[in-house]
Amino acid sequence: MRNFNLLISLLIVFLSLMFYGCGSDPASNNDPGTVEGTVEDHLSGILLHDIQISNGDEVLATTNSSGDFSFQIEKGTYDLHFSGNGYITHIEQNVEVKAGKITELEIFLDKIETYEISTDVSPNGATWNNDRIYHINDDINILGPLTITEGTIIKFKDGVGWNVDGESGGEIIAMGTGLEPIIFTSWHDDVPGGDSNGNQNATSPDRGDWENIKINGADNNSVFEYCKFYYGGSEEDCVLYVDNGANISITDCVLSMNKGDNGALNASKAGSETVIQNNTFFGNVWPLNINMNIGLDSTNLFTNPQNRSYGNDFDGILVNNSIMDGNINWSENEIAFVLSEADYIIPAGNTLTIGPGVSVKMMDDVSWQVDGTLTVNGTETAPVNITSYKDDDVWGDTNGDGEATSAAVGDWDFIKISGDGNDSSFEYCNFYYGGGDVFSDYTLYLGSGTDVSITHCEFVNNIGLNIAVLDAGEAGSGTIIRNNTFYLNQKPLLINGSFSIDNSNNFIDISTSNYYTNEFNAIFVKEESQIEGDIFWEEGELSFVMMSNLFINEDNSLSLSQNITLKFMEGSLDYYGDNLFNYDATGVYFTSWLDDDHGGDSNGDGSASSPAIGDWLGIRNKSTAPDTWEDWGNILYSEY
């Protein structure tokens, strides 16, 4: 019995040990493994700090001051990349990491060699690899395809640059990666690749140290992906110049600390297939210059990602006034598009679409001629702004002069929509400081037969004295003007008799307690207008002012709502007895435009003028023979 009890005890202990061992296995399949080791200079044996270790996609660790590294990672087999400033990237292949185990590595890196470049790249082309730093000593021509691999560093001596001649077959294919970008910089720049000019700290890099890279030719399809451009721009005021219709792709790049009154990236003469996406611009003079044939989405960044308050000297996108050819979209809403060169043209058959939150700033005397289609798609929370270049309230101090200048009415000229049936549209669009053309002074003009839709827009601080801020005097029957706000203008709106006006527009600022209106607060009706179709006028907030005769011919009609005032500068209202509806409704008056007691002070002179009998002719019924002058009690100050 004693031996039996001993046997049972031993069995219990054995089973307990087995159970414990299974439940606490330190090398469980779910545990990560550890990779650790050192990185040394291959020749000198010096331990290297700040060497990044990655799996090709993300940084896993960085060596410390003693050259050591350690990190944990899930079990598996990896190709580990070791890269550092001035050293050739080393890829340690097939590193096996076991669960709960330590994998030790000893890595040796070779320094990048320096290669001096003073001659052209031949039509046969070349490939530049990241095992050397390239010093550009003279201006050179790229006459064939130049392929630049990821992680390559190219340094330019003072005042030199590249000409990439597409007609000779020249193009650049520079495709870096997020972890190993390609760098174009000054040879005074000791950060990438070390002290290339060998003077230690005697010199520092500066904007405009080297010239630029000039891309030429319509057949030039150069590609820049994950590249960084620093300290260029001494030639043609840009670091990257796309000329003569070249179509390049520049994506995921950084352009920083470059000189350039023409934009660090000057694509003002680029082809319409040029792609500019996911790039970062900061520390430049102007960041970007495009033309009317280049679309921009909202993927580019115009501040330092590490310090979003650090942008460029002039935070705007310059737009060259080339004639548009195609269907273009502008969606960049971080900084303003800046139009600087007089007349911009959208020809018939072409469309510019402007997305929510976009701002367009106009320099002095700038105008748009829209024979094609302009579609402005703002929203209530992200309206589109079209304003003066000096307007610091919209996307900040774009002209970079602090408070030295301020926006004023008439800073820019106008947008003119032309073409029968033109269906351009403006939704949630704000128009500020326009009307500067001395012959017209409107801000938005709708030409003959156009069918433009204008909804939820604001017209503020514009001129519009001779005609009106929104001149729809020639517009077509499909015109829609609804839910807009007009204030601090001179004349807000001019219409004709071919489209209706409901009561949804506002002619006073209700957003503040100031209650600003317009200097001549009325809806003006173009002289000799004819009512065409079955038209209704419902706006009772202010008066309709006839600049001369108004005709309601047979088979057409005008319906008035309550509290509508029709004022006349001169002339008469002619109708056919049964086609002027609600003429006797409550609050409806027909009177002189000098009459401030009905419909307010439409002529904007306070009490300086007063109405008198004979200011206008009256209302004439053309359905009788002879014509009859009406004598309704709500007809005031007429001759008849």
**Residue 218's pLDDT band (cuts 50, 70, 90):** confident
**Residue 12's pLDDT band (cuts 50, 70, 90):** low
Task: DSSP letter for 122, please.
Answer: P
* Encoded tokens for 363: 């320099």
Q: How do residues 288-317 score in pLDDT, each as one tens digit? A: 999 999 999 999 999 999 998 899 999 999
Pairing mode of beta strands 76-83, 90-97: antiparallel
Q: How do residues 126-173 score in pLDDT, each as one tens digit? A: 999 999 999 999 999 999 999 999 999 999 999 999 999 999 999 999
* Encoded tokens for 598: 């009905």
Q: How do residues 488-533 score in pLDDT, each as one tens digit? A: 999 999 999 999 999 999 999 988 888 899 999 999 999 999 999 9
CB-based contacts of 514, cutoff 8 Å, min separation 6: none
pLDDT score of 26: 52
* Encoded tokens for 437: 């053309």
Question: Distance between CA atoms of 223 and 285, rounded to whole angstroms?
Answer: 24
pTM: 0.86
- Counting beta carbons within 10 angstroms of the beta carbon of residue 198, is it exposed (0 to 12), middle (13 to 18) or buried (19 or more)? exposed
Question: Distance between CA atoms of 136 and 155, rounded to whole angstroms?
Answer: 6
Q: Which residue, 91, 133, 127, 128, is CA-closest to 109?
A: 91
Q: How do residues 240-264 score in pLDDT, each as one tens digit? A: 999 999 999 999 999 999 998 999 9
Question: Distance between CA atoms of 440 and 462, rounded to whole angstroms?
Answer: 12
CB-based contacts of 517, cutoff 8 Å, min separation 6: 487, 507, 508, 509
Question: Distance between CA atoms of 300 and 361, rounded to whole angstroms?
Answer: 19
| Contact call for residues 567 and 602 (beta carbons, < 8 A) | yes
| Contact call for residues 494 and 520 (beta carbons, < 8 A) | no
Q: How do residues 596-627 score in pLDDT, each as one tens digit? A: 999 999 999 999 999 999 999 999 999 999 99
Domains, the chain, in order of start with CATH, read: 33-109 (2.60.40.1120), 113-320 (no CATH)
